[in-house]
Structure 1
Amino acid sequence: MWLGLGSTLLLTPVHAREPDALPLWHDDATSRLEALALLQSLNAELLSHPSATLTLERWCGAHHLAPEAKVVAERVQGEDKPLPADARDQLQIGTDEPVRYRRVQLACGGHVLSEADNWYVPSRLTEAMNHELDTTDTPFGKVVQALHFRRQTLSAELLWSPLPQGRENEASLPASRGATLVMPHHVLQHRALLFDQSNRPFSLVVESYTSQVLAFAPPGYRP
């Protein structure tokens, strides 16, 4: 299993947006294998750390995606998604408990690396935290860092496989067609709950990672 324990590998491409072509990535066997290895590496990093924001900052710095490895949350205003059907049970709240929604794009430099939908319980945060979430673009994970929260991943799905279905071995991959490798807009998605030190869930987040996480020269790149 490519993604490891408790995760799912999907081979059906995402159709929500037009696919992205990253000019540095050639459509050949080596590039496809390297892209898969990098996505697996990012997935492992995200699964092993509680804050996606800090993980993306490390990823941004390691792969030189921007002069400064700083991830900022750009809020998407005017959108309000209803709470998923099973979310109140997962958050352990009653039918009358207020829940707030926040949608952000996490960007490093000019690259939007993740688009996140977040439903959180304001009564389980401090007044200062709620005020900061309402009035700033500070990433959620940084705002609630003082809660010393833990993260429980509910699902981790690879939304695009660089390897054609049934061609897991390099020897069976097609030869280079001299084109750039086209990737869908979303390549990886995580669904997770955040818990405070009292083991109370206070946030449900769905994070959709974009192909911009690979917006750098692949290993061994030759123009």
Structure 2
Amino acid sequence: MAFAVAGAAQCAEVPAWPDNYQARLQVLALVQTINANILASTSATLTLEKWCGDHAMSTTPKVTAQLQGGIAKPASPAQRERLQVTADTPIKYRRVQLTCGGHLLSEADNWYVPERLSPAMNRLLEETDTPFGKAVLPLAPYRRTLGAKLIWSPLPDQWENGQPPMPSAAAGATLDIPAALFEHNAVLYTADHLPFSEVRETYQRGLLEFSPPPTK
């Protein structure tokens, strides 16, 4: 059985992960690794591209943003405070799915202050599929994480203190990986420490859509 990517520009079928203890440990390690890599980075987009290339998920590891139209989420008073703007300062909202090689890697909500971006950056965000992180690279941005949450784990809490989970009774069973793996909420700042965007990113199982490592 192989799972397909929903909502991506193209479908990519990959071998499924087996449902056994070793595979669950491997998946947990991979999720924690990409989670830590993104938290430590200045650009989630560039981190995702490197992940896609390192795991041969695309012949050309390029992350693109599929714009999700028809969605409106006005900035809250708390978000305006974090972005250091007044109640009447224009804030734009952008929702995208980030994909690479047909794999859905994340879904992102983005609130940004257009007057703190250049006209060229605003055009890229409004008219093209350029990921937000790439569009604003000339600002030399950095991130401050507001929150990070693991949504799913292949192993139960305190698994290290008990017996290994029993493998699935069905021969050849595959691991049931949900769509959402973990979530980040962050504020982006310019090199001059001026906040210009708040993002909420939900990272998807597409991050694991590559052939599992061989087992002994």
TM range (shorter): 0.7 to 0.9
Greater strand percent: which structure?
A: 1
SS at match of 2:23: helix
| 2:162 is the alignment partner of 1:131 | no
| 2:211 is the alignment partner of 1:220 | no
Q: Percent identity?
A: 49
SS at match of 1:189: strand
- Partner letter of residue 40 of structure 2? S
Matches within 5 A, 1:1-223: 23-168=15-160, 171-177=163-169, 178=171, 179-220=173-214
CA–CA distance in structure 2, aligned partners of residues 128 and 172 of structure 1: 54
Task: Indicate conservation of the 8 Å contact 1:23/1:180, yes or no.
Answer: no
CA–CA distance in structure 1, aligned partners of residues 17 and 96 of structure 2: 28
CA–CA distance in structure 1, aligned partners of residues 32 and 162 of structure 2: 17
CA–CA distance in structure 2, aligned partners of residues 42 and 114 of structure 1: 12
Q: Return 5+ residue gaps in structure 2 as ranges.
A: 1-13
TM-aligned CA distance change 1:154 to 1:105, over 3 Å: same
TM-aligned CA distance change 1:184 to 1:134, over 3 Å: same
CA–CA distance in structure 1, aligned partners of residues 148 and 107 of structure 2: 15
Q: CA deviation at 1:166?
A: 3.9
SS at match of 1:212: helix
Q: Return 5+ residue gaps in structure 1 as ranges.
A: 1-21
Q: CA deviation at 1:134?
A: 1.0
Q: How many residues align?
A: 202
CA–CA distance in structure 1, aligned partners of residues 49 and 164 of structure 2: 36
Aligned to 1:19: none
- Partner letter of residue 53 of structure 1? T
CA–CA distance in structure 1, aligned partners of residues 161 and 212 of structure 2: 20
Q: CA deviation at 1:170?
A: 7.5
Task: Indicate conservation of the 8 Å contact 2:77/2:87, yes or no.
Answer: no
SS at match of 1:42: helix
Aligned to 2:3: none
